[in-house]
Structure 1
């Protein structure tokens, strides 16, 4: 048995259990066994189990919501380029963790406090994408509907656990971009997108 594990190791182990079995399966003793460390070493890094769960929520907020907002705010010379920046999130696990997003949504169904955090995060994502559309000339009403279309499509994609080869999904990006924006991306814009993901 190892004498200790770092804070990130405990958090990573809790993350894996959350994805595998849900929040109820996250127990200090279970984590200690998985990490092959003493249970007492957990308390060097976390006040209690709630503190660990709060850290998981913060990880989700920073990674998923934080990166999505950052992508929506990137400089773009056209609406299609801006939309493709946001769509980077769906194709780069370093920007957006779809499995974690799904796990958080399941967890929130039984945790009213987390549901409030989720509602705030969804509103922040919506506002960022709506603002992106408006910066590129769309009126408020159309920007709202298009932002909802982007978000609802992706949430549905995650919740339905759609499985398709990456080459197939990438082949549809130009069509998705046109659906979301009402504009057809240029060949150069698509080449830039593909260069980031192939």
Structure 2
């Protein structure tokens, strides 16, 4: 084999072994794309073709990770149910008051303000059409409120007051993303300060 042919053969071999964009995509990438699509366009837009186009790959890549569209939808619900906000609050640690403050500050420090509210709204619209999703949404709401009300009780509030403040906290967290002035930093900072004082105050 001549040196030239050998070099060409080695180059071709490396090209064949080089991972493509599709082979590098993880299951997490598809789920994140699905969440973005759900937030932007609603649950009816959650189809394989649209997600593949969003990621810039072919549909074949999807089937490395999911059996079908329903498998993806189940994964979306499972991960949403895992409650990242609660997981993050626990990982942050501190006293019950520290965890409450951390959950409130997620709103102020979000790099994508409004995304959480859009996803919440999309999930609830989807739940109106699908009993399975409705069951998950109800379970998530109960989990959030129970966890947060318990924090308020540990912080010294009686059960009725703790439940009311837990409901107010999550109403604020998710409603702020739906407000028309959510992109106005000055207004949102004032709103955050006032809501934090109201929710945390004794």
Please indicate, yes or no, whether the TM-score normalized by the shorter chain is above 0.5: yes
For the residue of structure 2 that corresponds to 1:97, the secondary structure is helix
Question: Does residue 67 of the first structure (1) align with residue 85 of the second (2)?
Answer: yes
Secondary structure of 2:157 counterpart: coil
Task: Provide the residue aligned with 1:57 in structure 2.
Answer: 77
Aligned with 1:109: secondary structure?
A: helix
2:181–2:187 Cα contact (<8 Å) kept: no
- Assess if the C-alpha contact under 8 Å between 1:32 and 1:39 holds in 2: yes
Scaled by the length of structure 1, what TM-score is found? 0.74
Total equivalences in the alignment = 179
Residues 1:75 and 1:35: Cα distance change in structure 2 (over 3 Å): closer
What CA RMSD, in Å, does the superposition of the two structures yield over aligned residues? Answer: 2.9
Matched, 1:29 2:49: yes
Contact kept, 8 Å, 2:85 with 2:103, in 1: the verdict is: no
Matched residue, 1:99? 118
Aligned partner of 1:140 in structure 2 is 159
Measured at CA, do residues 94 and 112 of structure 1 come closer, stay the same or move farther in structure 2, by a change above 3 Å?
farther
Deviations 1:47-97 (A, max 9, x none): 1101111222233333xx232364278323x84x44322202223447983
- Which has the larger helix fraction? 2
Give 5+ residue unaligned stretches, structure 1. Answer: 184-198
Written as runs of structure 1 = structure 2, the 5 A alignment for 1:77-116 is 79=97, 81-93=98-110, 97-116=116-135
User: 2:29 maps to what in 1?
Assistant: 9
Separation in 2 of the partners of 1:22 and 1:88? Answer: 27
- Specify the SS of the correspondent of 2:129: coil
**C-alpha contact (below 8 Å) 1:19/1:103 kept by paired residues:** yes
Larger Rg over CA atoms: 2
Q: How does 1:38-57 map to 2 (within 5 A)?
A: 38-57=58-77
SS in structure 2 of the partner of residue 163 of structure 1? coil
Query: How many Å separate the matches in 1 of 2:188 and 2:52?
Result: 39
Greater CA deviation, 65-74 or 20-29?
A: 65-74
- The structure-2 alpha-carbon separation of the partners of 1:117 and 1:169, relative to structure 1 and needing over 3 Å to count, comes to same
TM-score calculated relative to the size of structure 2? 0.73
Gaps of 5+ in 2: 1-19
